[in-house]
Amino acid sequence: MSEHQFNATAELEKVRQHRRICRKRQYQSSRLNKYREELIQLMETGASFREMALWLRTQKRLRVSHTTVMRYLRKLSQSKQSAMEIDHA
């Protein structure tokens, strides 16, 4: 039988490489993107996040939490603000 030398350093590097690959986030577009304009209009009209989530459920057959709507709209406003800052620079 042939002797197989265990190389701990090489094995550890393989494990770390595997973890790096698995750790990368997989981004996908939001299901709310289709309704972005309507959600913005509802927000400007004064609708709460719960009301927007209910509207999505009843009118668009999309069941999402009110916190999902909140995070989505906050992310939109942050990206809009950063785009405006770049334009003014």
Q: pLDDT tens track of the chain, all 89 residues?
A: 556 789 999 999 999 999 988 887 777 889 999 999 999 999 999 999 999 999 999 999 999 999 999 999 999 888 776 666 666 65
- Note whether 73 and 39 are within 8 A (CB): yes
Please give the angle made by the CA atoms of 57, 60 and 64, to the nearest 5 degrees.
Answer: 40
Ranges of each domain in the chain:
33-89
Whether pTM > 0.85 for this model: the answer is no
